[in-house]
Structures are given as C-alpha cells and as structure tokens.
Amino acid sequence: MDGHFTANLDAQIEVREPGWLALRIPMNRPYTDRAQYTGPGANIFGKALFAPTSPSYVTMGGCSVRQATAVAHLVADLEECIERVRELGAFAAEDEREAVLSIYRNAIRKLRTSR
C-alpha cells in the first residue's frame, strides 16, 4: 500500500512470567521541537522518526501482568474523577451525566476484577 509500511518478526522469545511485548523504531537522531531533518530517519515534518507498536500482552496460566499499587492508584484517580464530574459537570440532562459516570464505574470494575 502507498504510505503504509509493514514488518514481520519471526523470533522465539522465552517467556517465564506474564508481561507484554512491544517493538520500537530505534531513534538514530535526537528528537527536539527545533530539529529539522531530511532523508532516512526523518518524518514528513522533519522530525526524527520514533514509533512504538501497541503492546501485545502475554498471559500465563490465566494470569496477566498486574501491579497492585498501580491498580490502586488508577482506581483512586477514577474515583476522584467521578467526584469531580458530580461536583463540576454540566450536562443537558441527567442521562448524559450518568453516561459519563458509567464509563468511570466500568473502568473501576474492570480494574478490580481483572487478574
């Protein structure tokens, strides 16, 4: 496809525990807001190329990577967001407020129930 690049990786990776894998384009030039590059390693804006893939999560024995303290912080942040929406949110109708709040509640539920 024009303007579209793909790559295939054929490798064996030893995995001993749950985690995630991602690939990155290694940067060979500094990335700054003032840099102007051309040629290989530069994007159309004249900046150094950098790009990660989305993570591919690895589960083992039905378990995924999970850090309890990170989950607790995320839940606390989401609960704070719920309070802010309740206190400061301006909505045309109560069902709109509830739709926004349900997004936060669903995220909290998923964080609390996932392994």
For 42-52, the pLDDT digits (tens) are 888 888 887 77
What pLDDT does residue 74 have? 92
Distance CA 29, CA 42 (A): 9
Same domain, 46 and 80: no
Domain match, 84 and 100 both: yes
**Cα–Cα distance for residue pair 30/6, rounded to 1 Å:** 24
Distant-in-sequence contacts of 6-9, Cβ < 8 A, 24+ apart: none
For residue 62, the 8-state DSSP code is: T
Name the residue range of residue 9's domain.
Answer: 1-60
Are 23 and 74 in a shared domain? Answer: no
Q: What is the pLDDT of residues 77-101, one digit of tens each?
A: 999 999 999 999 999 999 999 999 9
- Tell me the whole-structure pTM to 2 decimals: 0.51
The reply to whether 48 and 91 lie within a common domain is: no
The verdict on 33 and 78 lying in the same domain is no
pLDDT at 115: 63
The Cα 19–Cα 36 span in angstroms is: 37
**Using one digit for the tens of pLDDT, what is the confidence trace for 15-43?**
888 888 888 877 777 777 788 888 888 88
